């Protein structure tokens, strides 16, 4: 399915009928659209699976439709989260069709997405921003002139760590070689959305944002930003798909320190490989080339052993904090964050 999760199809989706599949969460991870990175993060797959299940079940309690069916226990039985006593990395889901846009003459063709289409994944990632922590893409986009203060409903230039009076809603492509931020008007056009559906998406995003914020607060975390993915079911009703509320989908902070995949991003941003990635993407865009990775001059190095261990413990301890029980035998989240703070200090 991708660089992080694998898909085992039990029943193929049809034009007007959902299928059934298993999402198998791996210990792989990806940053900057690279795909599988050189390290595997121990227990990451099971941690994300359980964290996502918790958020899905809480969403369903609020009447939010999702594709979540349950978790697959070690004995192969489909169960709810409260029936799990040990980690699992397999989630059962309802499956919709994934329809990829065609790449023609250096551009993506989305003409197949119409207001009549049903039972498919929206080719969008829908993003909320409650704050602008260090590393937020908003700063780079402002510097490049790709977005304006007016677009963000801001009256002054933001500072890293700033909390917003009200959430910013953002949107990017989902099924292209490299995700790119787009306007809501363009998102509506490429996904074939009606005006009422765009408004419904924004209301749903706000509801999910509020839910994840409350869940994070119980773990003493701040929900800075995050993304959701959506699909239309056979009746063209919206439902949450993929996963929500995890350390890969969201950017959480603890006293302004990152508690998410952002830790790995920040490390790699200080490497020559990251500069090569940015350059390769730029050249590919200028030449209308789809596969930018072929233009990248280097490959990512491995994480330092100490940082890798911190990230492993962070995924597991954050899951324990979300669920309110010790599924994983790891230090408390506060202690893991302290280790990360010490690591940062030791590297100047």
Bigger pLDDT: 158 vs 89: 89
The pLDDT, as a whole number, for residue 44 is: 96
The pLDDT, as a whole number, for residue 188 is: 97
Q: Is 262 a domain residue?
A: yes
| Residue 2 banded pLDDT, cuts 50, 70, 90 | low
Q: Is 105 a domain residue?
A: yes
Q: Residue 67's closest CA among 115, 120, 113?
A: 120
On the CB side of 283, how many CA atoms lie within 13 Å of its CA? 13
Among 35-49, 173-187, 215-229, whose mean pLDDT is lowest? 173-187
Q: Is 275 a domain residue?
A: no
The pLDDT, as a whole number, for residue 154 is: 83
CB 41 within 8 A of CB 29: yes
| Residue 160 banded pLDDT, cuts 50, 70, 90 | confident
Q: Is the pLDDT of residue 7 over 60?
A: yes
Q: Is 280 a domain residue?
A: no
Residue 14's φ and ψ, nearest 5 degrees, are -115, 180
| Residue 1 banded pLDDT, cuts 50, 70, 90 | low
How far is 248 from 252, CA to CA, in rounded Å?
10
* Percent share of the chain, pLDDT over 70: 99
| Residue 83 banded pLDDT, cuts 50, 70, 90 | very high
DSSP 185: H
Q: Residue 246's closest CA among 84, 50, 80, 51?
A: 51
The pLDDT, as a whole number, for residue 324 is: 93
Average pLDDT over residues 197-207: 97
How far is 321 from 324, CA to CA, in rounded Å?
5
The pLDDT, as a whole number, for residue 106 is: 83
How far is 101 from 111, CA to CA, in rounded Å?
8
The pLDDT, as a whole number, for residue 329 is: 96
* SS3 assignment, position 97: strand
Residue 42's φ and ψ, nearest 5 degrees, are -55, 130
Q: At 225, which helix (H) or strand (E)? A: strand 222-232
Torsion of CA 110, 12, 126, 142, to 10 degrees: -60
Domain residue limits at 97: 5-269+304-346
Average pLDDT over residues 244-259: 92
Q: Is the pLDDT of residue 135 over 80?
A: no
Q: Which token pair is 309?
A: 């261990």
Q: Is 165 a domain residue?
A: yes
Beta strand 162-173 with 222-232 is unpaired
> How far out from the chain centre does Cα 338 lie?
25
The overall average pLDDT reported for the chain is: 93
Bigger pLDDT: 146 vs 73: 73
Q: Computed over its alpha carbons, how large is the radius of gyration of the chain? A: 20
| pLDDT tens profile 258-292 | 898 889 999 999 999 999 999 999 999 898 888 89
Average pLDDT over residues 321-332: 95
CB 208 within 8 A of CB 64: yes
- Give the chain's domain count: 1
How far is 32 from 141, CA to CA, in rounded Å?
15
| pLDDT tens profile 37-79 | 999 999 999 999 999 999 999 999 999 999 999 999 999 999 9
CB 160 within 8 A of CB 193: no
The pLDDT, as a whole number, for residue 71 is: 98
Q: Is the pLDDT of residue 131 over 90?
A: no
Q: Is 288 a domain residue?
A: no
Residue 31's φ and ψ, nearest 5 degrees, are -135, 150
Name residues whose C-beta falls within 8 Å of residue 75's C-beta, 6 or more positions apart in sequence: none
Q: Is 282 a domain residue?
A: no
DSSP-derived secondary structure for 104-139: ETTEEE-TT--TT--SEE-SEEEEEEEEE-TT-HHH
The pLDDT, as a whole number, for residue 219 is: 93
Q: Is 131 a domain residue?
A: yes
The pLDDT, as a whole number, for residue 134 is: 76
Most confident of 62-66, 133-137, 156-160: 62-66
Task: For residue 323, give Cα distances in angstroms to 210, 243, 345.
Answer: 18, 16, 31
Reported pTM: 0.90
CATH at 316? 3.30.470.20
């Amino acid at each position: 399915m991708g660089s992080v999760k694998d898909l085992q199809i039990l029943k193929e989706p049809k034009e007007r009928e959902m299928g059934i599949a298993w999402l198998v969460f791996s210990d792989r991870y990806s940053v900057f659209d690279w795909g599988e990175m050189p390290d595997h993060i121990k227990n990451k797959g099971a941690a994300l699976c359980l964290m996502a299940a918790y958020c899905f079940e809480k969403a369903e309690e609020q009447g939010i439709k999702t594709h979540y069916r349950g978790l697959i226990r070690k004995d192969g039985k489909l169960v709810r989260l409260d029936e799990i006593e040990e980690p699992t990395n397999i989630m059962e889901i309802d499956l919709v069709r994934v329809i990829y846009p065609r790449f023609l003459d250096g551009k993506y063709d989305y003409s197949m997405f119409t207001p009549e289409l049903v039972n498919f994944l929206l080719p969008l990632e829908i993003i909320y921003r409650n704050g602008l922590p260090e590393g937020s893409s908003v700063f780079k986009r402002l510097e490049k002139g790709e977005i304006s203060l007016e677009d963000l409903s801001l009256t002054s230039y933001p500072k890293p760590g700033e909390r917003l009076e009200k959430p910013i809603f953002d949107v990017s492509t989902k099924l292209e070689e490299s995700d790119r931020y787009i306007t809501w008007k363009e998102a509506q056009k490429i996904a074939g959305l009606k005006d009422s559906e765009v408004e419904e998406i924004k209301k749903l995003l706000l509801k999910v944002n509020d839910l994840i914020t409350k869940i994070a607060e119980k773990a003493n975390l701040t929900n800075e930003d995050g993304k959701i993915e959506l699909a239309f079911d056979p009746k063209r009703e919206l439902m949450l798909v993929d996963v929500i509320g995890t350390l890969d989908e969201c950017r959480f902070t603890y006293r302004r320190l990152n508690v998410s995949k952002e830790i790995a991003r920040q490390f790699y941003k200080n490497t020559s490989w990251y500069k090569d990635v940015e350059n390769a993407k730029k050249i590919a865009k200028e030449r209308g080339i789809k596969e930018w990775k072929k233009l990248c001059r280097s490959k990512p190095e491995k994480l330092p052993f100490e940082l890798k261990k911190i990230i492993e413990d962070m995924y597991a301890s954050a899951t324990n904090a979300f669920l309110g029980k010790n599924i994983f035998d790891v230090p408390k989240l506060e202690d893991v964050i302290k280790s990360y703070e010490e690591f940062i200090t030791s590297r100047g």
